[in-house]
Structure 1
């Protein structure tokens, strides 16, 4: 591994009491609210989500589009030549290890949870306002529904999601490796906006920690629900809150062990391992499923996504006032934003030596294409069962989204083995999400030092597990969605500030490099 600057390897983390205790207080209050009266909490969570998405959906849609445009500008302009760490810096990790860690942290559990469920849900329950499709029950109407379902899935998991991660990761990596500052949102804001009050910076760090914990907790809740569904199918384990709590405790314990080993041993090796397992499952479905149909569908899905890109990207249900987007598109955008402090810091941590252009390509294009391939393999295989096979998946998914993957695998040979592998993959993604989240949260709370101590890392791993369990107990998947939306929404403003500040700093560095080249 290539060497990194001294500030990237500092063994001592600075304790920031205002940030640490402020975040603990916010998360503790959320846990207490969730557990005090679960009936009231569930209703309040839903009311808060409705208010946030109806009042500020435009902000989420606008933010992700601005960030994606900024990514394109950075990649195709002279700013793309700027290198994280300076002109002579070499990448700290090889391309495969870099991509495996990035992808495992950024999308893992969600792909397993939604890979089958989302396309089938959109196929069975399409949003009326998104497109006009008379005769939806006729064969040609069903085909259009299937195509539109994949287009919406690509919208939610494609370029917009990764643009969020790319901007914050690039900004933090730049100020750390090129300016010698700590790898933190607070350090970036002070560098970009020198007159910003310290109290506001600390408040933003508290928001970043809270958003990270809520975003990762949402993923862990989805993972626990899916593991429980798989164990119910394979071993008759009851599907209950107690079982989910036990799953969260066990996997959080494994995540704590992983984070104790650190980035290069625990997280790196787990990330590489679960990517291998995930690819094995995808290859199994691809080979034993409708292979030629999937190849055709992948090409057509990409074309449909490109053709409808501008419309999908700016669609807000303005003229129909439906609620479909609040449960899907707006939830996803807020979820990705709530994950962005965690994923952004994590990918900055592993991206030393990359040029801006390489960074954008690695964190935007490659993961998006992989995600599109994954969603095509699982989503279109499920739709093939609905359109040309035995059917029944729509009913199964509408009844229980966590059961969707296992109901789907039941249509394949060796379904028991495949389902067992799926449970293992969800569990390993669960661990990598939790340990990466704990590592990054400890970094934020310690002022951005990259080697936070063992106790803070363990503390945050446990906090994430407790919050995931509390939210599942209080309001199920809906409470997890609300937590992600409520914390992701205000952080959208922080992302816009980071985008503006990063643009200014990259322009200054590119101009300085050109002057240096002309002088030499």
Structure 2
């Protein structure tokens, strides 16, 4: 815990003995530094979930499908409204005097340079998602925005706010990019940024433990060390674990589809379990090596490989069309962000519920993991610098990525209405698009490697975060404890994939939405607490 003796924020009292006040840490014969009761409740509940789901596979599959549809259809307005709050609150903090606060105090300096910092932000925040949806989402929205003209099987056709004229393929492409950027732009990164900023501020500037409960000290006071804090941290563990399991499931489906596409290895249950086991083992090795020796190195490798594949698609693909797609798609996003963000009075229920509500719930379920990870590597940044970089830099990277991969795929469809990329499953679209370009075998293999490395970085960084939460904010908990959570992430992902069967992705999405819903309430309260804490801090400094 950082020394807060000279901290000017005297309005936020400092716990004298954090370990004692949160709960005793008992080192067990297995090498675990257990933080009761968060560790016990979280681990037992997850074990029960895995066993019950495997024993009741039929009812579990039906329940997951019902749960996802119920939450996204009944609370779509809530998810959209909350995401808008996070964007506006981030903008307020950037423009307010609070933006001058330096995380860690006036003398603090960043622990990582911009390149390493951006690499870890990007790899932890959206790696697998960009690989999975980089081609498939622009394609889906391109199809559904053409005024009801379906060019892809199963396309949505009720996208009222952005409907293009029938046959206007350029407008449909731009509107499809606007919708895609909307799901990967300001809103998701504002969600991550608020959680990360809250954790960094209360940890580095107020000397509190690096755990979710610390962000609620201005609201709860000493009660954060009791059951209210236990509930918050336990919800954060569930949210993180199932959010990660969703991403790992997407990655597994895509990697297996790629291996089958290239080598005919099959995509059955045995293949899923084997792949998850191998990747979990690699993630475990990275976890053992720690943040600098594992996660940071893999993140930088990720960025290098991703840039290589991105440049290849831009240079070898339809370069002029790709640049036009990036620019015009960005302009369309700026033009349409308000109607897309509107949570009320819309007719495009499929898009609003099937896409946006799920995405916001998914990002929120990921936010404890990504937020805590970003907080750990962001000491020394000012609030204004932090929010600007954490929100805008990854957003711009997402715009370029989606414009390149989505633009290349859409151009193939615009040139040939029967292009192969149209009729294949989501997890195959990337590889089928690359097949139309030179050196397809090499680039497809590179794409698989990227998915796998993103898989590893998400798993190992997620394990470090869950371990920190269940250890009461300690960042140096025993290695066996980190390994425990790393293995359980793989077990949960495998369980949901196996039980889901042909609807495996629905099962994954259901758990992300179900944990994202209660945590949305937590995040809204976090905004209030962060504002109170920062206002007191600024007042004490003047």
TM-score bin, normalised by smaller chain? over 0.9
Alignment of 1:308 with 2:336, yes or no, is yes
SS of the equivalent of 1:262 reads helix
TM-score normalised by L of structure 1: 0.93
Give the one of 529, 533, 541 matched to 1:501: 529
Q: Which is worse superposed, 117-126 or 271-280?
A: 117-126
CA RMSD of aligned residues (A): 1.9
Q: Equivalents in 1 of 2:198, 2:230: separation in Å?
A: 18
Secondary structure in structure 2 of the residue aligned to 1:363: helix
Change in 2 beyond 3 A, CA 1:436/1:88:
same
The residue number in structure 2 matching 1:47 is: 66
Shift of 1:337: 0.4
Q: Mean alpha-carbon deviation: is it higher for 178-187 or for 195-204?
A: 195-204
Of 319, 334, 352 in structure 2, the residue corresponding to residue 325 of structure 1 is 352
Q: Does 1:219 align with 2:247?
A: yes
1:130 counterpart = 2:160: yes
Does residue 173 (structure 1) correspond to residue 203 (structure 2)? The answer is no
Relative distance call for 1:132 and 1:419 in structure 2 (3 A) is closer
User: Could you tell me how far apart the structure 2 residues matched to 1:305 and 1:39 are?
Assistant: 41
- Offset, 1:410: 0.6
Which structure 2 residues correspond to residues 364-375 of structure 1 after superposition, within 5 A?
364-375=391-402
How many Å separate the matches in 1 of 2:415 and 2:540? 60
Q: Supply the distance in 2 between the matched residues of 1:195 and 1:180 (Cα, whole angstroms).
A: 14
**Which runs of 5 or more structure 2 residues have no equivalent in the other structure?**
5-18, 20-24, 144-154
Counterpart Cα distance in 2 of 1:110 and 1:245: 20
Contact 1:385 1:391 in 2 (8 A): no
Instruction: Return closer, same or farther for 1:21/1:481 CA change in 2, 3 Å cut-off.
Output: same
Residue in 1 that maps onto 2:429:
404
Distance 1:170 1:493 in 2: 17
Is 1:68 the equivalent of 2:87? Answer: yes
TM-score (norm. length: structure 2)? 0.89
Q: Which residue of 2 aligns with 1:443?
A: 468
Deviates more, 1:200-209 or 1:370-379: 200-209
**Residue in structure 2 matching 1:266, options 272, 288, 294:** 294
Does the CA contact (< 8 Å) of 1:80 and 1:356 recur in 2?
yes
Kept in 2: contact 1:189–1:196 (CA 8 A): no
Cα distance in 2 for residues equivalent to 1:127 and 1:315: 19
Q: Which whole-Å CA distance do the structure 1 matches of 2:427 and 2:58 have between them?
A: 22
When residues 250 and 147 of structure 1 are mapped into structure 2, their CA distance, relative to the original with a 3 A threshold, is same
Tell me the SS of whatever aligns to 2:455. helix
Q: Which has the higher contact order (CA 8 A, sep 6+)?
A: 1
Q: Is the 8 A contact 2:134 2:405 kept in 1?
A: yes
Change (3 A) 1:424 1:319: closer
CA distance in 1, matches of 2:277, 2:255: 13
Aligned length: 503
Shift of 1:14: 5.7
- 1:299 aligned to 2:327? yes
Please say which of residues 420-429 and 39-48 is displaced more in the overlay: 39-48
After superposition, residues 116-265 of structure 1 pair within 5 angstroms as: 116-124=135-143, 125-131=155-161, 133=163, 135-136=165-166, 138=167, 140=168, 142-194=169-221, 196=223, 198-265=226-293
Report the Cα distance in structure 2 between the residues aligned to 1:79 and 1:380, rounded to whole angstroms: 40
Q: Is the 8 A contact 1:126 1:149 kept in 2?
A: no
Report the CA distance between 1:127 and its aligned residue: 4.4
**Alignment counterpart, residue 409 of structure 2, candidates 382, 398, 403:** 382
Structure 1 stretches of 5 or more lacking a match? 516-520
Out of 239-248 and 14-23, give the one that drifted further: 14-23
Whether contact under 8 Å (1:159, 1:365) holds in the other structure is yes
Aligned to 1:336: 363
- SS of the residue corresponding to residue 78 of structure 2 reads helix
Hey, what does 2:517 align to over in structure 1?
489
Residue in 2 that maps onto 1:518: none
Please state if 1:290 is matched with 2:309. Answer: no
Residues 509, 132 of structure 1: alpha-carbon distance in 2 compared, 3 angstrom cutoff: closer
**Contact 2:76–2:343 at 8 Å: present in 1 too?**
no
Instruction: Give 3-state SS (helix, strand or coil) of 1:123's partner.
Output: helix
Q: Quickly say closer, same or farther: Cα 1:127–1:174, change in 2 above 3 A.
A: farther
In structure 2, how many angstroms separate the alpha carbons of the residues matched to 1:337 and 1:269?
26
Picking from 471, 484, 488, the partner of 2:496 is 471
Kept after mapping to 1: 8 A contact 2:248/2:493: yes
Q: Secondary structure at the match of 2:260?
A: helix
Asked if 1 retains the 8 angstrom alpha-carbon contact of 2:53 and 2:499, the reply is yes
